[in-house]
Amino acid sequence: MPKKEPRPLPPEPPLLWTEISDSLSRRFHFQPDGQLSVKVLDDSRPAIHRVVDSFLNKFFPSGYPYSVSEGYLRYTQFRALQHCTSAALSVLSTQSLLFAAGLRPTPAQATAVSWILKDGMQHVGKLICSNLGARMDSEPKSWRILADVLYDLGTGLEVLSPLCPHLFLEMAGLGNFAKGMAVVAARATRLPIYSSFAKEGNLSDLFAKGEAISTLFNVVGLGAGIQLASTICSSMQGKLVVGPLLSIIHVYCVVEEMRATPVNTLNPQRTALIVADFLKTGKISSPADLRYREDLLFTGRLIEDAGNVKVGRALHKAVKPSKLRELKQIFPEEKFILSREIKWVDMILEHDATAEDALRGWLVAAYAAHMEKSFREPNASILQEAYDKMNNAFSPFLSELQAKGWHTDRFLDGTGSRFAW
């Protein structure tokens, strides 16, 4: 007799539940794509509570605060203030440009024309800055701050243009050139910054809500700029007082945004801080713990407790050709080369090296540096002993590093300088 085909199992019912409180009843269920959907069944809360809840739904990611990493609220607060000051500055700069060109615009005209004066030299600035994308991947925070400094510099040139109307074209061109570079740097660093907050892979939701907040506070800033242009800043003296003040607030907000951002990709500075902490305390710092210790201005500084390792120099500059084969034979199975200089250790990575390879090389250099403090000169036995210590400690070190939320599949040194045999 033919075998009976097994009956297919019925589809699992959707997972849904209802939460009821004294004044609110909501139904929750998971959609097929994994997103959590919420439907309000009954709401007797005061109007102010409903407005606040509606604001959170429109301008914060679904599931906030559990769906984002630590520091998102502080980042958003300063981002909102940053956009306000930036929009107000754009109104003042455009009004100044039109005055320098011989026009006498109203504040409303300045606001309308501010979207038209972004051409010419701005495109040149964009092309130049686009060549630095790899460095922005490595240090998105520093480049984001630099972008806003460049933006304020360009805006400042535009604000000052009425003082020398005969140089209108030169000052407007330089201003747009700086702002063009700022636009590329700001956009290029947006993705790694948002990715650091996407705790549940909700990058699109974070991006959409971030753009909503930017739009809202840009409009608020434009309104504030129109009011300032009509009153305090109707004269050049007022602009020279209010403009620098807005610029200072703008840059301060960006710095605080970046300090609140827990970037979880490994670059030279973050790797050095992690290795230094591990050697001193035996523990791994999380991205949230490390964010306030990052140097946002001098990103390439060497850290003595981590072995003074420098990454990214070209192979022919870091290693003498006569010593290349000798250095490679010290650790033949590894994808890195360590070359000792007077004040630092050069680490050169192979073209297919990952963050795990960079971590292995960094730990060897750090262990060797600690052991060399009791010797006058380094020798091969110290390197071998450091290599053995690294092999013994690396597995638990890597496991804890991944458990803390660090991405170990890639190492972003910003230069792209690798080598291949």
Give the tens place of pLDDT for each residue, 268-312.
999 999 999 999 988 999 999 999 999 998 888 888 888 889 888
Encoded amino acid at 327, one letter: L
104 and 43 belong to one structural domain: no
18 strand-pairing partners: 27
What's the average model confidence in pLDDT over 33-61?
69
Nearest in space to 294 (alpha carbons), one of 266, 323, 259 = 259
Statement: residue 98 has pLDDT above 80: no
> What is the Cα–Cα distance from 23 to 11, expressed in whole angstroms?
35
pLDDT band of 376, cuts 50, 70, 90: low
What is the reported pLDDT for 377? Answer: 55
The number of beta carbons lying within 10 Å of the beta carbon of residue 370 is 18
What's the average model confidence in pLDDT over 204-227?
88
113 and 251 belong to one structural domain: yes
Specify the pTM.
0.77
Its domain, for residue 251, covers 72-260
Domain end: 231, 260, 289, which one?
A: 260
Q: Measuring CA to CA, how many Å separate 68 from each of 76, 80, 216, 255?
A: 12, 18, 21, 20
CATH number at residue 78: 1.20.1250
What is the reported pLDDT for 333? Answer: 85
- In whole numbers, what is the pLDDT of the chain averaged over residues? 81
253 and 193 belong to one structural domain: yes
Statement: residue 45 has pLDDT above 70: no
Higher-confidence position of 319 and 243: 243
pLDDT band of 32, cuts 50, 70, 90: low
In a domain, 104, yes or no: yes
Statement: residue 2 has pLDDT above 60: no
pLDDT band of 112, cuts 50, 70, 90: very low
What is the reported pLDDT for 399? Answer: 92
Given the DSSP bridges, would you call strands 16-20 and 24-30 parallel, antiparallel or unpaired?
antiparallel
255 and 124 belong to one structural domain: yes
Sequence-ordered alpha helix ranges (H) in 261-354: 268-281, 287-290, 315-318, 321-330
pLDDT band of 17, cuts 50, 70, 90: low
Residue-wise pLDDT tens digits, 329-371? 888 888 888 888 888 888 888 888 888 999 999 999 999 888 8
149 and 256 belong to one structural domain: yes
390 and 321 belong to one structural domain: yes
In a domain, 271, yes or no: yes
271 and 256 belong to one structural domain: no
210 and 333 belong to one structural domain: no
Domain end: 260, 289, 321, which one?
A: 260
In a domain, 293, yes or no: yes
State the total domains in the chain.
3
What is the reported pLDDT for 246? Answer: 93
393 and 368 belong to one structural domain: yes
Contacts of 387 (CB under 8 A, 6+ apart): 331, 364
Domain end: 260, 275, 295, which one?
A: 260
pLDDT band of 100, cuts 50, 70, 90: low
Q: Measuring CA to CA, how many Å separate 200 from each of 31, 46, 61, 104, 197?
A: 15, 32, 11, 52, 9
Nearest in space to 84 (alpha carbons), one of 180, 226, 262 = 226
In a domain, 338, yes or no: yes
Of the ranges 31-40, 189-198, 267-276, 316-325, the best mean pLDDT one = 267-276
Residue-wise pLDDT tens digits, 245-261? 999 999 999 999 999 99
Q: Judge contact between 137 and 412, C-beta under 8 A.
A: yes
176 and 86 belong to one structural domain: yes
